[in-house]
Chain A
Amino acid sequence: MIKLPSHLRSRRFWGETAEAYLFLLPTLVVLGVFTFYPFVNAFVYSLYDIRTRTVPGPVVYVLEEGLDSWTNLLARGRIPEDLVALLEKRGAKREDLWVRLRQSARWVLKDEGNNQEYILIKEGDKLIAYQATTQWALDPVGWSNFRQAFRDPDFTKALFNTLKYVGISVPATLFLALLLATLLNQALLGRAFFRLVNFLPYITPVVAITMVWQWIYDRDLGLLNYIVSAVARLFGTKASFFDWLNDARLALPALIIMNVWRFVGYQALILLAGMQGIDREYYEAARVDGASGWQVWRRITIPLLSPQIFFVFIISMIGSFKIFEEVYILFMGPGPQKSALTIVYYVFTKAFDSGHYGLASAASVILFAIIFALSLFQLTVVQRRVHYER
């Protein structure tokens, strides 16, 4: 007989475990329905060609006699008597039967009472009645959706744009956040106020922020161009107009600037909390040894802050790969010449503008694979360089 470890044998252990799972249940249900189920489905759908249509199911009847007159009647939305009689045998009521739609040599007959649909198809000289089963048509296509994605110039553009966005905005935000946190860590007047101000962009809804930046970036009335022209006037030169939202070269930078601004305060706050958790003794020891401010920052603050830096880096990288709302609102489209088309935006338009669900799912699986691989790399290789204070 297998002997369980002592803690697994106690009643209290199982009672507490059950209680814990009970508390977890609501979260698990919500996550299950809205996260895990769609997540798994995206994998499945990426291997299918998915369309919505009424699909013929099992054959119900084969009608052979008087086909011409039947097709004529059906074409006018009337149901031939013979067919009514046949369906009545299956429990249908005459007044519940009607032709729902027709398409070339194909009709859909509805039995409203039994909530049943039949597809009538003319094949040769026979009229075959199928039971209509589903509105989803899933044809397995193997990896063809993935191949199609990589062949689609829009997808490669989206991939490239997203990588560029992540590659610039994540390090830039982190660097500025580090500087900001260092500043906020000094004893300066009104420190609490500045901390609040820096956190505000993060708690403001992204839609509101993007609308404001839309104005800031406006070619004619925008704040940014106003400042540019004012500075130009100061130096007596002619101002050039930056068309942030309509120039393909400026759209992605505009997106990056906005989001760096949006996240820098939040990241600074996390880093600041980390800085304040560093034992003062290290700094005092360094001062006794005559270390300069830069040396203290470089040799003590940064290494001891590495867990927080690492956390912020991973979280912001994953978040940046998923950028979508800002593009959708700022450019009301994928940006000039699709210069701000990102992977999630591509997924969204493929699914909800053109109904290519399989292709959209494949693109989202590719995005998942990229994020997964990069996170794995960071958790294994990069994390080795992180100092955890003992």
Chain B
Amino acid sequence: MRRMLVALLVVVLGLGGFGQVTISFWHAMSGALGEALTSLVQKFQAENPDVVVDLVYQGGYSALQQKLIAAVAAGQPPTLAQQYENWTTQWLDALVDLDLFLPEEVLADILPQFEQIFEGRIITVPFNKSILVLYYRPDLIPNPPKTWEEFEELVAQVGKDEAKGVYGTAYRPPNPEIFLTLLHQAGGSILSEDWTKVTLNDAAGLEAAEFAARTAKYALVQSAYISDAVQKGITVAMWIDTSAGYTYNMNAAKTAGVPLSVAPVPCYKNCASMIQGTNLGIFSVNQTRAQIEAAARLIAFLLREDNIVYWAQKTGYLPVTKTAIYGKLWQDYIAQRPEHKVMTDQLLAGGFGQLLHPKYMDIRSLLITYWELLLKGEGAPKKILDALAAEIASVIGQ
């Protein structure tokens, strides 16, 4: 009897799964972000009963990256995965050309700030994108700074008192994107336009480095997130941080019982601000066409206006398409939420993305090394920049 029941169960389950295609989706979204992604995927499955999405949380970004590298090397990558631009450059061959599988209007709707062309191919689309903004304590800084000059003045005013735990600002060595923002604002860049020369140590680069070094004297410099320090009751008057940290920073301030607000990053020659966050790409290795088509449907679903706005509201990430960011849903939302309006304006005013150089992975790790030296005052800014430029030159020359 029991054997018959088991057989029946197998048949029923088998029939139930007939005609279904299963795709795997690896991500690094924890907490509230993970919940929002799960509910979006559930909605997709309700609309597409023929697709089963195996949503796998892989831990933080570095764990996801390490697992993807190993999976691609083993020829067993997932169907769909979140990935940073500098990871993508390592496995260009393993990814599908999205223009073959996504409707043209979906790709055309993506905001130009997020456009990604790798060696002439479109292989990823933006998904969870954030931008650097200024978090500040309105009780200490009633009028957030609009220029570098004002920023520097205010930082010096608050000063630094380690015993009391008071700092004018804060910087994280693992986050060289702040330096890149300063560099862009000063009119500089890492490489020349044709990628043949390192331009990071020219006059503009030096201005950025010197500004960072001067303000770092009053800064809390730590590898851990700034929200960790805020939560412990440390006073940081203002700091530049990603909009994706919004919920974390706000919760930390709430725990510490201090007010916190958001303003655009102070500007210099322009108001550039670096975009961070990952994109979605479909792996072609070891996948059937049906799996790739199903993954493309999921991407198109995630880039639909209602879903983008839901995702942005739940997470603090920014809408990535024109339809969504200018649409009524988002505009009504930010009319009620000045902080999200700041982030949106910041993106439209000066959002710029990662350098899509195949060696950016190595370049970024050099940036981290020298950004830390700069923040800790280990040598003159000019000397640090020149050493960094020399190392980048040898990396791109290889």
* Residues in chain A within 8 A of chain B (CB atoms): 52-54, 76-77, 98-104, 108, 110, 112, 135-136, 219-221, 238-239, 241, 243, 245-246, 248, 331-333, 336-338, 351-355, 357
**Contact across chains for A102 and B361 when beta carbons are under 8 A apart:** no
**Contact across chains for A337 and B378 when beta carbons are under 8 A apart:** yes
Given contacts A52-B72, A246-B222, contact A101 B173 (CB under 8 A): no
**Contact across chains for A220 and B232 when beta carbons are under 8 A apart:** yes
**Contact across chains for B174 and A333 when beta carbons are under 8 A apart:** yes
Note all chain A residues with C-beta closer than 8 A to B107: none
**Contact across chains for A357 and B73 when beta carbons are under 8 A apart:** yes
**Contact across chains for B73 and A52 when beta carbons are under 8 A apart:** yes
**Which are the 3 A-B pairs with shortest beta-carbon distances?**
A77-B100, A352-B66, A100-B284
**Contact across chains for A52 and B94 when beta carbons are under 8 A apart:** yes
**Contact across chains for B119 and A104 when beta carbons are under 8 A apart:** yes
Note all chain B residues with C-beta closer than 8 A to A103: 92-93, 119, 121
Note all chain B residues with C-beta closer than 8 A to A53: 93
Partner of B120, one of A104, A135, A333, A354: A104
Given contacts A101-B284, A239-B163, A353-B65, contact A336 B229 (CB under 8 A): no
Q: Chain B 197-239 against A: per-residue CB contact (8 Å), 1 yes, 0 no?
A: 0000000000000000000000001111000010011100000
**Contact across chains for A101 and B223 when beta carbons are under 8 A apart:** no
Question: A77: nearest residue on chain B (CB-CB)?
Answer: B100
**Contact across chains for A245 and B162 when beta carbons are under 8 A apart:** no
Given contact pairs A77-B97, A100-B284, A101-B97, enumerate 10 new A-B contacts (beta carbons under 8 Å). Answer: A52-B73, A52-B94, A101-B96, A103-B93, A136-B73, A246-B223, A336-B223, A336-B376, A353-B365, A354-B365
**Contact across chains for B69 and A332 when beta carbons are under 8 A apart:** no
CB distance from A121 to the nearest CB of B (A): 13
Contacting A at CB under 8 A, from B340-398, are 361-362, 365, 369, 372-373, 376, 378
Partner of A354, one of B91, B289, B362, B378: B362
Note all chain A residues with C-beta closer than 8 A to B72: 52
**Contact across chains for B165 and A220 when beta carbons are under 8 A apart:** yes
**Contact across chains for B288 and A112 when beta carbons are under 8 A apart:** yes
Q: How far is the CA of A136 from the CA of B73 in the complex (A)?
A: 7
CB distance from A338 to the nearest CB of B (A): 7
Given contacts A52-B72, A100-B96, contact A337 B376 (CB under 8 A): yes
Note all chain B residues with C-beta closer than 8 A to A112: 288-289
Given contacts A52-B94, A53-B93, contact A338 B119 (CB under 8 A): no
Note all chain B residues with C-beta closer than 8 A to A98: 289
Partner of A332, one of B92, B221, B223: B223
Q: How far is the CA of A108 from the CA of B373 in the complex (A)?
A: 45
B90 at the interface (CB under 8 A from A): yes
Q: What is the interface residue range for chain B against chain A?
A: 35 or more
Q: How far is the CA of A384 from the CA of B102 in the complex (A)?
A: 73
Note all chain A residues with C-beta closer than 8 A to B369: 337-338
B140 at the interface (CB under 8 A from A): no
Most A-side CB within 10 Å, residue of B73, B361, B362, B378: B73
B111 at the interface (CB under 8 A from A): no
Q: How far is the CA of A40 from the CA of B180 in the complex (A)?
A: 43
**Contact across chains for A101 and B372 when beta carbons are under 8 A apart:** no
10 examples of A-B residue contacts, CB within 8 angstroms? A52-B94, A77-B100, A220-B234, A221-B232, A331-B223, A333-B223, A337-B369, A337-B378, A352-B70, A353-B365
Q: How far is the CA of A284 from the CA of B263 in the complex (A)?
A: 81
CB distance from B205 to the nearest CB of A (A): 21
B95 at the interface (CB under 8 A from A): yes
Note all chain B residues with C-beta closer than 8 A to A355: 69, 73, 90
B75 at the interface (CB under 8 A from A): yes
Note all chain A residues with C-beta closer than 8 A to B157: none
B196 at the interface (CB under 8 A from A): no
**Contact across chains for B173 and A336 when beta carbons are under 8 A apart:** yes
**Contact across chains for A353 and B361 when beta carbons are under 8 A apart:** yes
Note all chain B residues with C-beta closer than 8 A to A241: 162-163
Q: How far is the CA of A246 from the CA of B365 in the complex (A)?
A: 18
Note all chain B residues with C-beta closer than 8 A to A77: 97, 100
Question: A332: nearest residue on chain B (CB-CB)?
Answer: B223
Q: How far is the CA of A333 from the CA of B376 in the complex (A)?
A: 17
Question: B368: nearest residue on chain A (CB-CB)?
Answer: A333
B40 at the interface (CB under 8 A from A): no
Question: A102: nearest residue on chain B (CB-CB)?
Answer: B97
CB distance from B46 to the nearest CB of A (A): 28
Q: How far is the CA of A273 from the CA of B254 in the complex (A)?
A: 55
**Contact across chains for A99 and B362 when beta carbons are under 8 A apart:** no
Question: B221: nearest residue on chain A (CB-CB)?
Answer: A246
Q: How far is the CA of A77 from the CA of B288 in the complex (A)?
A: 15
Note all chain B residues with C-beta closer than 8 A to A243: 222
Q: How far is the CA of A355 from the CA of B73 in the complex (A)?
A: 9
Note all chain B residues with C-beta closer than 8 A to A52: 72-73, 91, 93-94
Given contacts A52-B72, A77-B97, contact A220 B229 (CB under 8 A): yes
Q: How far is the CA of A244 from the CA of B49 in the complex (A)?
A: 54
Given contacts A112-B289, A241-B163, contact A337 B373 (CB under 8 A): yes
B106 at the interface (CB under 8 A from A): no
Note all chain A residues with C-beta closer than 8 A to B36: none
Note all chain A residues with C-beta closer than 8 A to B284: 100-101, 108, 110
**Contact across chains for A102 and B229 when beta carbons are under 8 A apart:** no
Note all chain B residues with C-beta closer than 8 A to A246: 221-223
**Contact across chains for B361 and A135 when beta carbons are under 8 A apart:** no
Question: B92: nearest residue on chain A (CB-CB)?
Answer: A103
CB distance from B167 to the nearest CB of A (A): 12
CB distance from A359 to the nearest CB of B (A): 11
**Contact across chains for B121 and A102 when beta carbons are under 8 A apart:** yes
Note all chain A residues with C-beta closer than 8 A to B361: 353-354
B336 at the interface (CB under 8 A from A): no
CB distance from B140 to the nearest CB of A (A): 19
Note all chain A residues with C-beta closer than 8 A to B119: 103-104
Q: How far is the CA of A101 from the CA of B123 in the complex (A)?
A: 9
Q: How far is the CA of A76 from the CA of B120 in the complex (A)?
A: 14
CB distance from A50 to the nearest CB of B (A): 8
Contacting A at CB under 8 A, from B162-207, are 162-163, 165, 173-174
Note all chain A residues with C-beta closer than 8 A to B97: 77, 101-102
Question: B162: nearest residue on chain A (CB-CB)?
Answer: A241
Note all chain B residues with C-beta closer than 8 A to A332: 223-224
**Contact across chains for A135 and B234 when beta carbons are under 8 A apart:** no
Q: How far is the CA of A351 from the CA of B365 in the complex (A)?
A: 14
**Contact across chains for A337 and B372 when beta carbons are under 8 A apart:** yes
Question: A137: nearest residue on chain B (CB-CB)?
Answer: B93
CB distance from A76 to the nearest CB of B (A): 8
Q: How far is the CA of A262 from the CA of B195 in the complex (A)?
A: 50
CB distance from B303 to the nearest CB of A (A): 20
